[in-house]
Amino acid sequence: MNEDPITSNEAIKRADYAREKGEVVLREHEYDGIQEFDQKLPNWWLFTLWAAIAVFLTYYLVYYTLDLLPSSKESMDQRVTEIEELKQAELQKLLESMNDDTLVNTFSTNPDFVAKGKDTYIQNCAACHAADLGANGGMTGRPLNDGEWAYGSEPMNIFKMILHGTPADSKGYKQGMRMAPMGGAQLSPEQVAQVTAFLIDSNPNDFKSYKK
Ligand code: HEC
């Protein structure tokens, strides 16, 4: 049987360490019959090792030691702030274009606007106020078709009440529950305007005096 040149140990050079690229040596020591090869690491391998170390050191220096670039938390906070500002600006713009007159005579007479408001209502409000606005049975919300508006019956009062929820000193309704801003949903100011337009459209008698 031919002896394998690697395992036969004779064919292969013995040395402390490999000294040249590509050279394979068998190291001098042997423990319990276990021997160890050695060869120089290829350049591509060394390159990735040193590159990884360099990237880590640069990263550590830039982010932690010198604090030159914002951390991911800081940039997320920054984006959240920007979004908040955009929302505020949108609300501001909408509020400037809105008053009792536009809510009743422009928004609530726009079928597309009212239809979107109805969709929003069914998805976010009907659970507490009922699809038919009656809030009957054990529902927690106030009826929205009984001609009574506990927090002011002017269209803008209703818009603001939905936007901000019921006032902090409100005693709530049946179960003593107050309403969270937008009923606890995440709506844009425009969606709140649409839902208000839907409520106005559904209660024509309550807003007759604003009609032109
Ligand atoms: C988790 C239940 C709940 C949800 C969801 C909810 N509401 Fe309410 N809503 C209430 C409660 C409770 C009150 C009465 C709170 C109070 O009087 O302090 C109320 C009161 C109101 C009022 C005042 C009614 C009146 O007679 O003065 C309006 C308007 C209203 N909600 C609209 C909405 C709209 C629009 C939505 C959806 C965007 C919505 N609600 C979602 C529970 C809810």
Say whether both 162 and 201 belong to one domain: yes
- Ligand 1 centroid to 175 CA: how many Å? 12
Is residue 4 in a domain? no
- Determine which residue's CA is closest to atom 17 belonging to ligand 1: 172
- What is the per-residue pLDDT for 95? 86
What is the rounded average pLDDT of the residues 57-72? 91
CA–CA distance, 118 with 36 (Å, rounded to integer): 77
Give the predicted TM-score (pTM) of the model.
0.71
- Ligand 1 centroid to 44 CA: how many Å? 67
Percentage with pLDDT > 90 across the chain? 76
Say whether both 137 and 183 belong to one domain: yes
Say whether both 115 and 147 belong to one domain: yes
CA–CA distance, 61 with 165 (Å, rounded to integer): 48
Is 197:104 a contact under the CB 8 Å cutoff?
Answer: no
Taken in order 200, 203, 206, 208, is the CA torsion positive or negative?
Answer: positive
Name the least confident of 34-48, 87-101, 150-164.
87-101
Is residue 9 in a domain? no
- What is the per-residue pLDDT for 2? 53
- What is the per-residue pLDDT for 71? 86
Is 101:107 a contact under the CB 8 Å cutoff?
Answer: no
Pocket of ligand 1 (CB under 6 A): 121, 124-125, 127-129, 140-142, 144, 148-151, 158, 161-162, 166, 170, 172-173, 177-179, 182-185, 195
CA–CA distance, 140 with 151 (Å, rounded to integer): 17
- Mutation to probe ligand 1, out of 179, 187, 191, 199 (largest number of atoms < 8 A from CB): 179
- What is the per-residue pLDDT for 1? 47
Within the chain, strands assigned E span 14-15, 25-27, 37-38
Buried b / exposed e across 108-125, counting CB within 10 Å, b at 16+? beeeebbebbbebbeebb
Say whether both 188 and 138 belong to one domain: yes
pLDDT tens across 124-133, in order? 999 999 999 9
pLDDT tens across 83-134, in order? 999 988 988 888 888 999 999 999 999 999 999 999 999 999 999 999 999 9
DSSP, collapsed to helix, strand or coil, labels residue 126 as: helix
Around Cβ 90, how many Cβ atoms within 10 Å?
13
Is residue 140 in a domain? yes
Percentage with pLDDT > 70 across the chain? 95
Say whether both 116 and 138 belong to one domain: yes
Residue 162 has pLDDT above 70, yes or no: yes
- Ligand 1 centroid to 207 CA: how many Å? 19
Query: Domain range spanning residue 42?
Result: 14-65
Say whether both 127 and 158 belong to one domain: yes
Number of domains in the chain: 2
